Amino acid sequence: MLSFSHFYSVTPKQNETIIVNENIQKLSQNETKSENNKQNFKKNISFSKDENLTKIFTDPKNKDETVALSTQTQNKQQKTQSDKNVQKEQTKIIYKSQQNPEKSKQELKIPEIKKEQISPSKDKIIIADTNVSKKPKFENNNTNKTEQENIIKPTITQEKQDSNISKEKPKQNQKESKKDSKQQKKDIKKHIKGEKPKLVIIIDDVATKEHVKMIQKTGLKLTPSFFPKTTASPNTPSLARDFQFYMIHLPLQAKFDKNPMPTTIKTDESYDSIDKKISQIKQDFKNVKYINNHTGSKFTSNQTAMDRLYKALNKYGFIFVDSRTSADTQVPIIAKKYNNPYISRDIFLDDSNELQNIKAQLDNAIAKAKKYGYAIAIAHPRKNTMQIINQNKDHIIKNVDVVYLNEIIKYYE
């Protein structure tokens, strides 16, 4: 019996030491595996010297993939670390059980690992925050229902307030813009009394000898506006010499123009490029002072582009006349900035090529000149337009004086 009891008292300690040794071996094996995994991961994501590393951070696809890899490795490292902690705790308890057998039952329990001990990665935190903000979860009890109502209701009311503010702002801006436009019209157009009304008729798109003859045939002081010299209109500088007064018809970018002219100035064009074009016009047309825009609905509605153009025009002594091809024209604002008079056309005579419509618009131009004392009309060298002007020459002379633009510039200053 003594030998058997002695054997029984010794075997548990031997078994426990064996278990401890096995656990220690497992720990060392796990450590070596984790180190190997780290090395393998480093090898997998290594980059060649020629590869552009900026793509990893600028390309959304590459960025997502690298983040996914990093989160996977972090999760693996966290799991291995937690396994190590558990195994270490188990070995400590086994050692303690050898010293205090009575407490072995309590201490042999595997300790619970709190969620707080494992710190989640940054990417997980962001995902969790967005999910919570979109769909808040509450338990099924009365107190949490009231909390849910208190949290959700303020957000809804805040959204309503924001939507109301966003609805009110455009209305205010529209009212302010209308007031500004009315004020601009009042400031720009002055009533001149005590003189015979004066009417300026600008003929745009002049580029050929035929156009020149059509204008001269009327016997009126019509103002020709010549295209700049290009391969399509190479003779405009020499044609302009036949006139005492003329203008330049400058092509500017339109919102809808499938075939723009090669000399068209675009909204994204640099100041140096614009300056070069305006300088060339000044060399080709030495005595010219006034420029109006051909098309230009996109350009004249862009403040930045108009600012660059005005800077160049002022440099070479030009005065800009707004053809008003856009209701959103920003020319009045830029003209005021450069202390230039804002000059704009009042009537288009031949938006329609119908004879009756052209005659009606001519009457509107005369009426406008009578109302304010002066007006500017724009037309084109077309057969029907010139026919109406020639047929109504006596009617025009009776009611207004047809003058050049420089004769009414004083009314705009």
Model confidence pLDDT, tens digit, residues 151-206: 333 433 444 444 443 444 444 455 555 555 544 444 457 788 778 999 999 999 99
Q: What is the mean pLDDT of residues 402-406?
A: 97
DSSP code per residue over 316-359? TT-EEEE----TT--HHHHHHHTT---EE--EES-SS--HHHHH
385, 380, 375, 381: which is closest to 407 by C-alpha?
375
What are the structure tokens assigned to 411, written together? 């009314």
**pLDDT score of 90:** 67
Res 96 pLDDT > 90: no
- The stretch 26-32 carries a mean pLDDT of 59
The CA distance from 376 to 347, in Å, is 7
Higher pLDDT, 311 or 18: 311
pLDDT for the residue 382:
97
Of residues 96 and 251, more confidently modeled: 251
Q: What is the pLDDT of residues 108-138, one digit of tens each?
A: 444 444 444 444 444 433 333 434 344 344 3
Tokens of 17: 């030491």
345, pLDDT greater than 50: yes
Q: How confident is the model at residue 344 (pLDDT cuts 50, 70, 90)?
A: very high
- What is the Cα gyration radius of the chain? 43
Q: Is the pLDDT of residue 400 over 60?
A: yes
Query: Residue 81: what pLDDT?
Result: 66
Q: Smallest Cα–Cα separation from 336: which of 176, 179, 180?
A: 180
Q: What share of the chain is helix, strand, coil (3-state, %, to 5)?
A: 60, 10, 30
Q: For residue 288, give the nearest of 322, 258, 328, 248 by alpha carbon.
A: 248
Split at pLDDT 50, 70, 90, the class of 101 is: low
Two structure tokens written together for 231: 């391969």
Report the pLDDT value the prediction gives residue 195, as an integer from 0 to 100: 84
Domain ranges of the chain: 2-134, 195-411
pLDDT at 212 over 60: yes
Q: Which residues contact 225 (CB under 8 A, 6 or more apart)?
A: 202, 203, 204, 205, 206, 246, 247, 248, 249, 292
Percentage above 90 pLDDT, the chain = 50
Q: Does residue 372 surpass a pLDDT of 50?
A: yes
pLDDT of residue 129: 40
Please give the pLDDT value at position 1: 46
Between 309 and 152, the more confident residue is 309
Answer whether 95's CB lies under 8 Å from 20's CB: yes
Q: Is the pLDDT of residue 274 over 70?
A: yes
pLDDT band for 25, please (50, 70, 90 cuts).
Answer: low
- pLDDT-derived band at 5 (thresholds 50, 70, 90) equals very low
Is the sign of the CA dihedral 314, 319, 323, 324 positive or negative?
Answer: positive
- The more confidently predicted of residues 19 and 226 is 226
Higher pLDDT, 358 or 87: 358
pLDDT average, residue stretch 91-103: 61
Is the pLDDT assigned to residue 238 strictly greater than 60?
Answer: yes
Q: What is the pLDDT of residue 333?
A: 97
Question: Which position has the higher pLDDT, 252 or 34?
Answer: 252
pLDDT of residue 284 exceeding 90, the answer is yes
Supply the pLDDT for residue 259.
85
- The one-letter code for the residue type at 85 is N
Task: Give pLDDT, residue 193.
Answer: 76
- Choosing among 3.30.70.260, 3.20.20.370, 2.30.42.10, 3.30.930.10, the CATH entry for 195-411 is 3.20.20.370
The label of the residue with tokens 């008292």 reads 9
pTM above 0.85, yes or no: no
